A = this chain, B = another copy of it.
């Protein structure tokens, strides 16, 4: 068996493969991957800008712009809590919720296709290992 790539570069290859497909699915829903990730983190609870910037691994100005663009499209809404008028809580709108639900349904339905090359019992094993990796130490919450 040929083995001319390091495990590191194979992981990058897998990641590129997944991200290309993911970007295509996002585009089908008129979203960018960054917007999809942001929406996903707001799906179940509103969050403040600083918290979100941390979760997404972004600097705050970058998040401000990201939020501007999807707020313009009516997918999220900025709200100022009374107890701290510096802060902003970000909520999804009903349209935003609907959009992100439809997106993740598609992601769940078509991304796992890339595992079709594996025999069924390997797919189950693979899934367990991926779960361990993304919930282990070093996980960044990026996948939402």
| Chain A residues within CB distance 8 Å of chain B | 3, 5-20, 22, 37, 40, 57, 104, 107-118, 122, 125-127, 129-134, 136-140, 142-144
> Are B136 and A117 in touch, CB under 8 angstroms?
yes
> Are A133 and B114 in touch, CB under 8 angstroms?
yes
Provide a sorted-by-A list of 25 A–B residue pairs whose CB atoms are within 8 angstroms. A6-B104, A7-B111, A7-B130, A9-B40, A10-B143, A11-B111, A12-B143, A13-B144, A14-B15, A14-B130, A14-B133, A15-B143, A16-B37, A17-B134, A17-B138, A17-B139, A17-B140, A114-B133, A115-B133, A117-B136, A117-B137, A118-B132, A125-B129, A126-B126, A126-B129
Residues of B within 8 A of A13 (CB): 130, 134, 139, 142-144
The A contact surface, by secondary structure, is: helix
Residues of B within 8 A of A112 (CB): 6-8, 11
